[in-house]
Amino acid sequence: MLASIAMKRRFHTLKVRVAGLTLIEILVGVAILGVIVAVAVPSMSDLLERRRVIAAAEEVAGILNYAKAETNATNSELDVNFQPDSAMSCAVVAPAVGYNRCQCNRTPSTVCQNSGAVALRLFQLPKTYVKFEAAATWGSLANRYYLKFSRHQSVIEMPDFHVDVTGLKKGYNLRVEVNTIGRVKICSPSAANAITGYGACTPLSP
């Protein structure tokens, strides 16, 4: 009888120990989880920014390639406008109509208002995580921020034209280059913030 009671008590004690966790065990588990999260969050943040920069660069490159292909297909002159704006980065492809060109930083319905042109492709990106900016040796076309494509054009009229795409949190960046014959490529302008898989950019002219 006594042996039976003792066995039941031992079994009950063992069951309680197996079923439950001590406070120390819980605290250790929480600490380990905290370390894992602390390591994973920055890595995830880096990954997200790299992906956003790549996506924006590919979209910009796609717009430039589209303009070049459409020009050849329709035998028309097209402008790609990169009007700077404090709230967004943007680009729009539209037929060249005199000097009254479309402006990509307007609302989509008014991008080509009063210009006599129609926007063929528009990309507007709020400056929340990523931004892109066009640069070139603008010459007499300073502050117009556009690149022209025409079917019979043998040389791009904007030397050193490129679009820098930059993450606003970590600074990862890519550059979309257009060489003198209109070939578009994505490259890394800086080794410090380079993204794996993209070669170094061509040095810009002094």
| 3-state SS, one letter per residue, for 31-76 | HHHHHHHHHHHHHHHHHHHHHHHHHHHHHHHHHHHHHHHHHHHHCC
Tell which wins on pLDDT, 155 or 201.
201
Q: What is the pLDDT of residues 45-95, one digit of tens each?
A: 888 999 999 999 999 999 999 998 888 887 888 889 998 899 999 999 998
Q: What is the pLDDT of residues 136-172, one digit of tens each?
A: 876 665 566 888 888 776 567 777 889 999 999 999 9
| Best CA proximity match to 193, nearest among 174, 177, 172, 175 | 172
Domain boundaries, the chain: 2-187
- Tokens at 170, concatenated: 């970590």
Phi and psi for 56 in degrees, rounded to 5?
-65, -40
Tell which wins on pLDDT, 39 or 134.
134
Considering the four listed CATH numbers 2.30.29.30, 3.55.40.10, 3.40.50.720, 3.40.50.1980, the one that applies to the domain covering 2-187 is 3.55.40.10
